[in-house]
Amino acid sequence: MTLPRTAWVALTIARKDALAELRGKHATTSTLFFAAVVLLLFGFALGPDTRRLQEAAPGLLWLAIVFAGLLAVGRLHLIETDDGALEQLALYPIDRRAIYAGKAVSGLAAMLILGIVLLGVVAILYGIDLAGAWPALVLTLGLGCIGFAAVGTFYAGVTVRMRAREVMLPLLMLPVIAPLLLAAVKATAAALGGDPFGELAAWLQLLAGYDIIMIIAAAATYGFLLEE
């Protein structure tokens, strides 16, 4: 299968997922509200001292993104299993990597929406000024969400028809995204703090490297899941 066709198939799958999400609006909204409530509870746990919240804000933001993202990527595979649609998808004469890419792209779209909304919520709740930090924040958010969607889609595929799926997805995935969390939090902190030590570029490089390695590893092995 040629590359343009693979890309086209991937985008078709992603579009299908997006449409399904948009038509059943409840899931998206509830995930967003869940993450917002998590951020609010972090405030209760660490507040009311605003300065302490501001110091912890990058970490809290990414923890909220991770928790909500787990729900989002898990659901993207779940909508396929209810009526055996994943098996049908696997039967089509298309590149398996296209299925993975499609799922990852729709996951990425969900993650980006989550990330942008939660960034706004963090800014409002913890009183953070985002004004000067936009380019670096957008880059961090983008790279972080790409990595999360790539790894999340893979592990959602692994756990999709497993007993205790709700526990296994975070249990398997969280240790693997530890470097991503570390780099994204540090990059966000550097971006918000005006990057006094000039370390932002290094963390962004680590994020980009992580993304590339994980996308290759996940895309190469995802096809085996569909052979089952």
Partner 1 sequence: MKTRVLGIIGLLAVIAAAIFGLFVVPPDANQGDAQRIMYVHVASAWLAYLSFGVTALAGLLYLWKRDLRFDAVALAGAEVGVMFTAFAIWGGMMWGKPVWGTFWQWEDPRLTTTALLLALYVGYLLLRHLTDDPMRRATRAAIVGIVAAIDIPIVHFSVIWWRGLHQTATFADPTKILHPSAPGLFVLALMGMLTAFTLVWGYLMIRRYQLARIAWQIEEHGRLGRITAARRAAVERAAPPPPSAAPGVVDGRVEEAGS
Residue 12 contacts partner 1 per CB under 8 A:
no
Task: Give the one residue of 32, 154, 188, 189 binding partner 1; rule: CB under 8 A.
Answer: 154
Within 10 A of 215 (CB to CB), how many other CB atoms are there? 20
Residue 84 contacts partner 1 per CB under 8 A:
no
Q: Which residues contact 224 (CB under 8 A, 6 or more apart)?
A: none
Instruction: Give how far Cα 45 sits from Cα of 56, 57, 70, 92, 192, Å.
Output: 12, 13, 22, 50, 22
- Span between the terminal Cα atoms of the chain, in Å: 22
Nearer to partner 1, 36 or 187 (CB): 187
Positive or negative: CA dihedral 20, 25, 27, 29: positive
CA 110/CA 145 separation, integer angstroms = 9
Residue 208 contacts partner 1 per CB under 8 A:
no
Residue 227 contacts partner 1 per CB under 8 A:
yes
Residue 172 contacts partner 1 per CB under 8 A:
yes
Task: Give the one residue of 171, 193, 194, 201 binding partner 1; rule: CB under 8 A.
Answer: 171
Nearer to partner 1, 48 or 175 (CB): 175
Residue 138 contacts partner 1 per CB under 8 A:
no
Task: Give the one residue of 10, 104, 158, 219 binding partner 1; rule: CB under 8 A.
Answer: 158
- Give the interface segment with partner 1, choosing from 27-35, 101-109, 128-136, 194-202 (CB under 8 A): 194-202
